[in-house]
Structure 1
Amino acid sequence: MTAPSGRTGRPPLTEARKAEIRLEIARAAVELFVAQGVTATTGEQIGQAVGVSARTVWRYFPSKESCVRPLFSAGIDVIAALLREWRPGHPLPELFDPALTTGLLAATGPDGATGTALVRLTRTEPGLRAIWLQTYDEAEPAFARALADRAGLPADDLRPMIQAAMLNAALRAAVERFAWTEAVADAGVGETVGVAEVAETLRSALAIAAEGVS
Protein backbone atom coordinates (compact mmCIF):
# COMPACT_ATOMS: atom_id res chain seq x y z
CA MET A 1 0.00 0.00 0.00
CA THR A 2 1.41 3.37 -0.97
CA ALA A 3 1.63 5.98 1.78
CA PRO A 4 -0.25 9.21 1.08
CA SER A 5 1.93 12.04 -0.10
CA GLY A 6 1.83 15.75 0.61
CA ARG A 7 1.08 17.73 3.75
CA THR A 8 -1.22 16.45 6.44
CA GLY A 9 -3.06 18.26 9.23
CA ARG A 10 -4.50 21.75 9.07
CA PRO A 11 -4.14 23.67 5.82
CA PRO A 12 -1.92 26.75 6.02
CA LEU A 13 -3.63 30.03 6.83
CA THR A 14 -4.22 32.44 4.01
CA GLU A 15 -2.75 35.94 4.23
CA ALA A 16 -6.28 37.31 4.55
CA ARG A 17 -6.99 35.06 7.53
CA LYS A 18 -3.68 36.03 9.14
CA ALA A 19 -4.65 39.68 8.78
CA GLU A 20 -8.02 38.93 10.40
CA ILE A 21 -6.33 37.21 13.34
CA ARG A 22 -3.95 40.15 13.79
CA LEU A 23 -6.89 42.54 13.86
CA GLU A 24 -8.82 40.35 16.31
CA ILE A 25 -5.82 40.29 18.63
CA ALA A 26 -5.41 44.05 18.27
CA ARG A 27 -9.01 44.76 19.20
CA ALA A 28 -8.86 42.44 22.19
CA ALA A 29 -5.63 44.06 23.39
CA VAL A 30 -7.16 47.53 23.15
CA GLU A 31 -10.20 46.53 25.16
CA LEU A 32 -8.02 45.04 27.88
CA PHE A 33 -5.56 47.94 27.94
CA VAL A 34 -8.38 50.44 28.32
CA ALA A 35 -10.25 48.37 30.92
CA GLN A 36 -7.38 47.36 33.19
CA GLY A 37 -4.21 49.06 31.99
CA VAL A 38 -1.24 47.85 30.01
CA THR A 39 0.79 46.59 32.96
CA ALA A 40 -2.02 44.37 34.25
CA THR A 41 -2.69 42.86 30.82
CA THR A 42 -0.93 39.64 29.85
CA GLY A 43 -0.46 37.82 26.58
CA GLU A 44 -2.51 34.98 28.00
CA GLN A 45 -5.46 37.29 28.61
CA ILE A 46 -5.24 38.73 25.11
CA GLY A 47 -5.15 35.25 23.64
CA GLN A 48 -8.10 34.06 25.74
CA ALA A 49 -10.19 37.01 24.57
CA VAL A 50 -9.63 35.92 20.97
CA GLY A 51 -9.69 32.18 21.52
CA VAL A 52 -6.01 31.56 20.75
CA SER A 53 -2.99 30.70 22.83
CA ALA A 54 -0.47 33.20 24.15
CA ARG A 55 2.04 31.48 21.88
CA THR A 56 -0.09 32.48 18.89
CA VAL A 57 -0.23 36.08 20.13
CA TRP A 58 3.59 36.19 20.29
CA ARG A 59 3.82 34.61 16.85
CA TYR A 60 2.07 37.67 15.43
CA PHE A 61 3.45 40.38 17.72
CA PRO A 62 6.79 40.84 19.52
CA SER A 63 5.22 42.56 22.54
CA LYS A 64 1.80 43.21 24.02
CA GLU A 65 2.06 46.92 23.21
CA SER A 66 2.71 46.16 19.54
CA CYS A 67 -0.61 44.28 19.38
CA VAL A 68 -2.42 47.58 18.78
CA ARG A 69 -0.36 48.41 15.70
CA PRO A 70 -2.88 47.12 13.11
CA LEU A 71 -5.47 49.57 14.43
CA PHE A 72 -3.11 52.51 14.06
CA SER A 73 -1.87 51.33 10.66
CA ALA A 74 -5.36 50.84 9.20
CA GLY A 75 -5.92 54.57 9.21
CA ILE A 76 -2.82 55.16 7.07
CA ASP A 77 -4.27 53.22 4.13
CA VAL A 78 -7.60 55.05 4.39
CA ILE A 79 -6.00 58.50 4.45
CA ALA A 80 -3.58 57.67 1.61
CA ALA A 81 -6.56 56.57 -0.52
CA LEU A 82 -8.36 59.83 0.30
CA LEU A 83 -5.31 61.83 -0.77
CA ARG A 84 -5.18 60.03 -4.13
CA GLU A 85 -8.86 60.82 -4.69
CA TRP A 86 -8.55 64.44 -3.51
CA ARG A 87 -9.88 66.50 -6.42
CA PRO A 88 -7.82 69.43 -7.75
CA GLY A 89 -9.08 72.79 -6.64
CA HIS A 90 -10.87 71.45 -3.57
CA PRO A 91 -9.72 72.59 -0.11
CA LEU A 92 -7.64 70.05 1.79
CA PRO A 93 -9.89 70.17 4.90
CA GLU A 94 -12.72 68.71 2.82
CA LEU A 95 -10.96 65.35 2.99
CA PHE A 96 -12.50 64.88 6.42
CA ASP A 97 -16.21 65.41 6.22
CA PRO A 98 -18.29 63.39 8.72
CA ALA A 99 -19.06 60.62 6.20
CA LEU A 100 -15.40 60.02 5.38
CA THR A 101 -14.43 60.26 9.03
CA THR A 102 -16.98 57.57 9.86
CA GLY A 103 -15.18 55.25 7.44
CA LEU A 104 -11.82 56.18 8.92
CA LEU A 105 -12.95 55.42 12.46
CA ALA A 106 -14.50 52.13 11.33
CA ALA A 107 -11.24 51.11 9.68
CA THR A 108 -9.24 51.73 12.82
CA GLY A 109 -11.22 49.18 14.79
CA PRO A 110 -12.75 49.82 18.20
CA ASP A 111 -15.68 52.07 18.98
CA GLY A 112 -14.92 55.77 19.10
CA ALA A 113 -14.62 56.10 22.88
CA THR A 114 -12.36 53.06 23.17
CA GLY A 115 -10.18 54.30 20.32
CA THR A 116 -9.72 57.72 21.88
CA ALA A 117 -9.00 56.08 25.22
CA LEU A 118 -6.22 54.13 23.51
CA VAL A 119 -4.74 57.37 22.15
CA ARG A 120 -4.85 58.82 25.68
CA LEU A 121 -2.88 55.84 26.92
CA THR A 122 -0.08 56.73 24.48
CA ARG A 123 0.52 59.78 26.67
CA THR A 124 1.40 57.74 29.75
CA GLU A 125 2.51 54.34 28.42
CA PRO A 126 5.98 54.52 26.81
CA GLY A 127 5.54 51.22 24.94
CA LEU A 128 2.29 52.37 23.32
CA ARG A 129 3.78 55.80 22.65
CA ALA A 130 6.61 54.20 20.71
CA ILE A 131 4.17 52.23 18.55
CA TRP A 132 2.01 55.32 18.01
CA LEU A 133 4.94 57.46 16.84
CA GLN A 134 6.40 54.67 14.73
CA THR A 135 3.08 54.35 12.91
CA TYR A 136 3.11 58.03 12.02
CA ASP A 137 6.73 57.74 10.94
CA GLU A 138 5.70 55.01 8.51
CA ALA A 139 2.67 57.03 7.38
CA GLU A 140 4.73 59.92 6.05
CA PRO A 141 6.24 58.17 2.99
CA ALA A 142 2.84 56.60 2.23
CA PHE A 143 1.24 60.05 2.20
CA ALA A 144 4.11 61.43 0.11
CA ARG A 145 3.63 58.70 -2.51
CA ALA A 146 -0.10 59.40 -2.64
CA LEU A 147 0.46 63.14 -3.09
CA ALA A 148 3.14 62.53 -5.71
CA ASP A 149 0.83 60.18 -7.64
CA ARG A 150 -1.96 62.75 -7.50
CA ALA A 151 0.30 65.52 -8.82
CA GLY A 152 2.11 63.34 -11.37
CA LEU A 153 5.45 63.98 -9.68
CA PRO A 154 8.37 61.62 -9.04
CA ALA A 155 8.18 59.74 -5.73
CA ASP A 156 11.31 61.48 -4.48
CA ASP A 157 10.16 65.02 -5.34
CA LEU A 158 10.67 67.37 -2.38
CA ARG A 159 7.24 69.01 -2.63
CA PRO A 160 5.08 65.98 -1.79
CA MET A 161 7.61 64.99 0.88
CA ILE A 162 7.23 68.35 2.64
CA GLN A 163 3.47 68.35 2.16
CA ALA A 164 3.24 64.84 3.60
CA ALA A 165 5.33 65.83 6.62
CA MET A 166 3.05 68.80 7.33
CA LEU A 167 -0.08 66.71 6.80
CA ASN A 168 1.22 63.94 9.02
CA ALA A 169 2.13 66.29 11.86
CA ALA A 170 -1.21 68.08 11.61
CA LEU A 171 -3.18 64.82 11.77
CA ARG A 172 -1.27 63.52 14.79
CA ALA A 173 -1.63 66.82 16.64
CA ALA A 174 -5.36 66.90 15.89
CA VAL A 175 -6.01 63.32 16.99
CA GLU A 176 -4.01 63.77 20.20
CA ARG A 177 -5.65 67.09 21.02
CA PHE A 178 -9.09 65.60 20.50
CA ALA A 179 -8.34 62.50 22.59
CA TRP A 180 -6.80 64.52 25.40
CA THR A 181 -9.60 67.09 25.58
CA GLU A 182 -11.15 66.94 29.04
CA ALA A 183 -14.72 66.42 27.82
CA VAL A 184 -13.66 63.51 25.62
CA ALA A 185 -11.51 62.02 28.38
CA ASP A 186 -14.52 62.05 30.71
CA ALA A 187 -16.58 59.97 28.26
CA GLY A 188 -16.94 56.37 29.35
CA VAL A 189 -15.83 53.44 27.25
CA GLY A 190 -18.68 52.47 24.98
CA GLU A 191 -20.11 56.00 24.84
CA THR A 192 -20.44 57.59 21.43
CA VAL A 193 -17.69 59.96 20.41
CA GLY A 194 -19.15 62.51 18.00
CA VAL A 195 -17.95 61.84 14.46
CA ALA A 196 -18.73 65.44 13.54
CA GLU A 197 -16.46 66.65 16.35
CA VAL A 198 -13.61 64.41 15.19
CA ALA A 199 -14.08 65.58 11.60
CA GLU A 200 -14.10 69.23 12.64
CA THR A 201 -10.87 68.80 14.62
CA LEU A 202 -9.18 67.16 11.62
CA ARG A 203 -10.47 69.82 9.24
CA SER A 204 -9.21 72.60 11.50
CA ALA A 205 -5.75 71.01 11.66
CA LEU A 206 -5.57 70.66 7.88
CA ALA A 207 -6.71 74.25 7.38
CA ILE A 208 -3.86 75.43 9.60
CA ALA A 209 -1.37 73.23 7.75
CA ALA A 210 -2.62 74.52 4.39
CA GLU A 211 -1.86 78.09 5.50
CA GLY A 212 1.80 77.19 5.81
CA VAL A 213 4.33 79.01 7.97
CA SER A 214 4.16 82.79 7.78
Structure 2
Amino acid sequence: MAQGSTRVILPIRRIGNVYLMVAMNDVTTKDRITAAATYLLTEHGAAGVSMRKVAAAVGITPMAIYQYFPDRETLLNAIADAAFVELVRRWESAERPTAADELLREMLIDHVDFALEHPRLYDYMFTERRDQARKFPADFRARKSPTLNLVADAITAGVDQQLFRADTDIWETSLMFAALLHGLIQLHHGDRIGMPEQSFRALCLRLGERMIDELRI
Protein backbone atom coordinates (compact mmCIF):
# COMPACT_ATOMS: atom_id res chain seq x y z
CA MET A 1 0.00 0.00 0.00
CA ALA A 2 1.38 3.40 -0.91
CA GLN A 3 2.05 5.67 2.02
CA GLY A 4 -0.99 7.75 2.90
CA SER A 5 -3.36 5.62 0.77
CA THR A 6 -6.39 3.76 2.06
CA ARG A 7 -7.45 2.38 -1.32
CA VAL A 8 -6.04 -1.11 -0.86
CA ILE A 9 -6.67 -1.77 2.83
CA LEU A 10 -9.04 -4.65 2.00
CA PRO A 11 -8.76 -7.53 2.50
CA ILE A 12 -7.79 -6.56 6.05
CA ARG A 13 -5.34 -8.77 7.87
CA ARG A 14 -6.31 -10.04 11.28
CA ILE A 15 -4.23 -8.65 14.12
CA GLY A 16 -4.79 -10.50 17.36
CA ASN A 17 -8.51 -11.10 17.77
CA VAL A 18 -9.62 -7.60 16.94
CA TYR A 19 -9.83 -7.29 13.17
CA LEU A 20 -12.53 -8.92 11.11
CA MET A 21 -11.51 -11.16 8.24
CA VAL A 22 -13.18 -9.80 5.13
CA ALA A 23 -11.51 -11.65 2.27
CA MET A 24 -14.47 -14.01 2.01
CA ASN A 25 -17.35 -14.31 -0.43
CA ASP A 26 -20.17 -14.23 2.12
CA VAL A 27 -19.30 -11.02 3.97
CA THR A 28 -21.70 -8.11 3.61
CA THR A 29 -20.95 -4.52 2.71
CA LYS A 30 -21.66 -3.61 6.33
CA ASP A 31 -19.02 -6.14 7.44
CA ARG A 32 -16.51 -4.56 5.08
CA ILE A 33 -17.32 -1.05 6.30
CA THR A 34 -16.90 -2.14 9.92
CA ALA A 35 -13.65 -3.93 9.16
CA ALA A 36 -12.17 -0.98 7.29
CA ALA A 37 -13.16 1.45 10.05
CA THR A 38 -11.72 -0.92 12.66
CA TYR A 39 -8.43 -0.99 10.78
CA LEU A 40 -8.29 2.81 10.58
CA LEU A 41 -9.23 3.24 14.24
CA THR A 42 -6.69 0.69 15.43
CA GLU A 43 -3.89 2.07 13.28
CA HIS A 44 -4.57 5.82 13.43
CA GLY A 45 -7.01 6.49 16.29
CA ALA A 46 -10.48 7.99 16.09
CA ALA A 47 -9.16 11.12 14.37
CA GLY A 48 -7.97 8.92 11.51
CA VAL A 49 -11.43 7.55 10.75
CA SER A 50 -13.49 9.44 8.21
CA MET A 51 -16.35 8.34 5.98
CA ARG A 52 -14.20 9.20 2.96
CA LYS A 53 -11.31 7.00 4.08
CA VAL A 54 -13.60 4.12 4.99
CA ALA A 55 -15.39 4.37 1.64
CA ALA A 56 -12.08 4.39 -0.23
CA ALA A 57 -10.96 1.27 1.61
CA VAL A 58 -14.18 -0.60 0.86
CA GLY A 59 -14.52 0.65 -2.73
CA ILE A 60 -17.87 2.44 -2.32
CA THR A 61 -18.98 6.05 -2.17
CA PRO A 62 -19.03 7.84 1.20
CA MET A 63 -22.79 8.33 0.90
CA ALA A 64 -23.30 4.55 0.64
CA ILE A 65 -22.03 4.16 4.21
CA TYR A 66 -25.06 6.07 5.50
CA GLN A 67 -27.29 3.19 4.43
CA TYR A 68 -25.74 1.22 7.28
CA PHE A 69 -24.55 3.84 9.79
CA PRO A 70 -26.33 7.19 10.21
CA ASP A 71 -23.14 9.01 11.22
CA ARG A 72 -19.47 8.58 12.04
CA GLU A 73 -20.02 8.35 15.79
CA THR A 74 -22.47 5.47 15.39
CA LEU A 75 -19.89 3.63 13.29
CA LEU A 76 -17.14 4.22 15.86
CA ASN A 77 -19.35 3.12 18.74
CA ALA A 78 -20.27 -0.05 16.84
CA ILE A 79 -16.55 -0.82 16.56
CA ALA A 80 -16.04 -0.22 20.29
CA ASP A 81 -19.02 -2.39 21.21
CA ALA A 82 -17.76 -5.22 18.98
CA ALA A 83 -14.30 -4.95 20.51
CA PHE A 84 -15.72 -5.20 24.05
CA VAL A 85 -17.64 -8.32 23.05
CA GLU A 86 -14.50 -9.80 21.52
CA LEU A 87 -12.44 -9.08 24.64
CA VAL A 88 -14.96 -10.88 26.82
CA ARG A 89 -15.25 -13.78 24.35
CA ARG A 90 -11.48 -14.16 24.30
CA TRP A 91 -11.34 -14.09 28.11
CA GLU A 92 -14.16 -16.58 28.58
CA SER A 93 -12.89 -18.98 25.93
CA ALA A 94 -9.61 -19.61 27.78
CA GLU A 95 -9.11 -21.81 30.80
CA ARG A 96 -8.91 -19.64 33.92
CA PRO A 97 -8.02 -20.23 37.58
CA THR A 98 -10.82 -20.53 40.11
CA ALA A 99 -9.10 -18.64 42.94
CA ALA A 100 -10.27 -15.03 42.78
CA ASP A 101 -6.88 -13.45 43.47
CA GLU A 102 -5.28 -15.44 40.64
CA LEU A 103 -8.19 -14.53 38.38
CA LEU A 104 -7.75 -10.80 39.04
CA ARG A 105 -4.04 -11.15 38.38
CA GLU A 106 -4.68 -12.73 34.98
CA MET A 107 -7.27 -10.06 34.13
CA LEU A 108 -4.74 -7.36 34.91
CA ILE A 109 -2.11 -8.95 32.66
CA ASP A 110 -4.57 -9.49 29.79
CA HIS A 111 -5.80 -5.90 30.03
CA VAL A 112 -2.30 -4.42 29.96
CA ASP A 113 -1.29 -6.67 27.06
CA PHE A 114 -4.31 -5.54 25.05
CA ALA A 115 -3.52 -1.89 25.75
CA LEU A 116 0.10 -2.34 24.66
CA GLU A 117 -0.85 -4.26 21.52
CA HIS A 118 -3.68 -1.94 20.40
CA PRO A 119 -3.04 1.45 22.05
CA ARG A 120 -5.29 3.57 19.81
CA LEU A 121 -8.23 1.19 19.94
CA TYR A 122 -7.76 0.86 23.70
CA ASP A 123 -7.82 4.62 24.18
CA TYR A 124 -11.05 4.97 22.21
CA MET A 125 -12.71 2.11 24.06
CA PHE A 126 -11.73 3.00 27.61
CA THR A 127 -10.58 6.58 28.08
CA GLU A 128 -11.58 8.93 25.24
CA ARG A 129 -14.78 10.93 25.55
CA ARG A 130 -17.65 9.46 23.51
CA ASP A 131 -21.39 9.96 23.82
CA GLN A 132 -22.33 6.32 24.30
CA ALA A 133 -19.62 5.46 26.83
CA ARG A 134 -20.92 3.79 29.98
CA LYS A 135 -20.75 5.83 33.18
CA PHE A 136 -20.19 5.05 36.86
CA PRO A 137 -22.14 4.33 38.96
CA ALA A 138 -25.48 3.66 37.26
CA ASP A 139 -24.31 1.84 34.13
CA PHE A 140 -21.78 -0.28 35.97
CA ARG A 141 -24.11 -1.31 38.78
CA ALA A 142 -26.67 -2.21 36.09
CA ARG A 143 -24.01 -4.54 34.62
CA LYS A 144 -23.85 -2.71 31.30
CA SER A 145 -20.04 -2.88 31.13
CA PRO A 146 -18.92 -6.24 29.69
CA THR A 147 -15.35 -5.88 30.91
CA LEU A 148 -15.98 -4.42 34.38
CA ASN A 149 -18.54 -7.16 34.98
CA LEU A 150 -15.65 -9.63 34.84
CA VAL A 151 -13.75 -7.70 37.50
CA ALA A 152 -16.82 -7.38 39.72
CA ASP A 153 -17.58 -11.07 39.40
CA ALA A 154 -14.01 -11.98 40.35
CA ILE A 155 -14.15 -9.76 43.43
CA THR A 156 -17.53 -11.24 44.38
CA ALA A 157 -16.02 -14.71 44.02
CA GLY A 158 -13.17 -13.64 46.31
CA VAL A 159 -15.65 -12.65 48.99
CA ASP A 160 -17.51 -15.96 48.57
CA GLN A 161 -14.21 -17.85 48.75
CA GLN A 162 -13.37 -15.96 51.97
CA LEU A 163 -10.24 -14.55 50.36
CA PHE A 164 -11.50 -10.94 50.38
CA ARG A 165 -13.19 -8.91 53.07
CA ALA A 166 -16.95 -9.27 53.24
CA ASP A 167 -17.45 -5.50 53.66
CA THR A 168 -15.97 -4.82 50.21
CA ASP A 169 -18.08 -2.58 47.96
CA ILE A 170 -17.89 -4.63 44.77
CA TRP A 171 -18.44 -1.85 42.23
CA GLU A 172 -16.32 0.80 43.90
CA THR A 173 -13.50 -1.71 44.22
CA SER A 174 -13.89 -2.69 40.56
CA LEU A 175 -13.71 0.99 39.63
CA MET A 176 -10.55 1.32 41.72
CA PHE A 177 -8.88 -1.46 39.73
CA ALA A 178 -10.01 0.09 36.45
CA ALA A 179 -8.83 3.55 37.47
CA LEU A 180 -5.39 2.24 38.42
CA LEU A 181 -4.90 0.47 35.10
CA HIS A 182 -6.37 3.21 32.93
CA GLY A 183 -4.24 5.80 34.67
CA LEU A 184 -1.03 3.82 34.32
CA ILE A 185 -1.74 3.03 30.67
CA GLN A 186 -2.56 6.65 29.85
CA LEU A 187 0.71 7.72 31.45
CA HIS A 188 2.57 5.10 29.44
CA HIS A 189 0.82 6.05 26.18
CA GLY A 190 1.61 9.69 26.89
CA ASP A 191 5.31 8.85 27.38
CA ARG A 192 5.14 9.88 31.05
CA ILE A 193 6.47 6.52 32.21
CA GLY A 194 9.93 5.93 30.80
CA MET A 195 10.43 2.20 30.77
CA PRO A 196 10.24 -0.57 28.16
CA GLU A 197 7.03 -2.54 27.78
CA GLN A 198 8.13 -5.54 29.81
CA SER A 199 9.17 -3.33 32.72
CA PHE A 200 5.90 -1.38 32.48
CA ARG A 201 3.94 -4.63 32.44
CA ALA A 202 5.80 -5.74 35.60
CA LEU A 203 5.07 -2.37 37.25
CA CYS A 204 1.35 -2.74 36.57
CA LEU A 205 1.41 -6.24 38.03
CA ARG A 206 3.21 -5.08 41.20
CA LEU A 207 0.79 -2.23 41.80
CA GLY A 208 -2.18 -4.43 41.03
CA GLU A 209 -0.88 -6.99 43.49
CA ARG A 210 -0.85 -4.33 46.21
CA MET A 211 -4.52 -3.61 45.51
CA ILE A 212 -5.36 -7.31 45.67
CA ASP A 213 -3.53 -7.56 49.00
CA GLU A 214 -5.65 -4.71 50.37
CA LEU A 215 -8.78 -6.80 49.73
CA ARG A 216 -7.56 -9.83 51.62
CA ILE A 217 -9.07 -10.81 54.97
Where does residue 39 of structure 2 map in the other structure? 27
Please, which moves more after superposition, 52-61 or 68-77? 52-61
Higher helix share: 1
Quick one: distance in 2 between partners of 1:93 and 1:144?
A: 7
Write the letter of the residue equivalent to 1:94: R
Q: Which runs of 5+ in 2 are unaligned?
A: 1-24, 161-165
- Could you tell me which residue of structure 1 aligns to residue 98 of structure 2? 87
1:186 aligns to 2:191 (yes or no) = yes
Which of 52, 55, 59 lines up with 1:44 in the alignment? 52
Would you say 1:172 and 2:184 are equivalent positions?
no
Matched, 1:131 2:133: yes
- What is the number of residues matched between the two proteins? 175
SS at match of 1:176: helix
Instruction: Give RMSD over aligned pairs.
Output: 5.1
Maintained 8 Å contact 2:69/2:75 = no
CA distance in 1, matches of 2:207, 2:184: 11
Q: How does 1:4-19 map to 2 (within 5 A)?
A: 13=27
Q: Does 1:76 align with 2:76?
A: no
* Offset of residue 49 of structure 1: 3.4
Bigger relative CO (Cα 8 Å, ≥ 6 apart): 1
Is 1:66 the counterpart of 2:77? The answer is: yes
CA contact (8 A) 1:92 1:210 kept: no
Compute the displacement of 1:177 (Å): 0.6
Q: Provide structure 1 residue ranges, at least 5 long, that are not aligned to the other structure.
A: 1-10, 154-158
One-letter amino acid of the counterpart of residue 38, structure 2: A
Q: Quick check: 1:171–1:205 contact (8 Å CA) kept in 2?
A: yes
1:204 aligns with 2:213: no
Letter in 1 for 2:190: A
Letter in 2 for 1:180: Q
State yes or no: 1:114 paired with 2:120.
yes
C-alpha displacement of 1:114: 3.2
CA offsets 1:162-212 (integer angstroms, 9 cap, x no match): 64x35642443134212321x53139xxxx971552464256336415623
1: CA distance, partners of 2:117 / 2:147: 25
* Overall identity of the aligned pairs, in %: 9
TM-score by length of 2: 0.50
Verify the 8 A CA contact 1:26 1:71 in the aligned structure 2: no
Residues 1-50 of structure 1: CA deviation (Å, up to 9, x unaligned): xxxxxxxxxx8648xx976863442232343435xx37xx4322233235
TM norm structure 1: 0.51
CA, structure 1 residues 195+112, in 2 after alignment: closer, same or farther (shift >3 Å)? farther
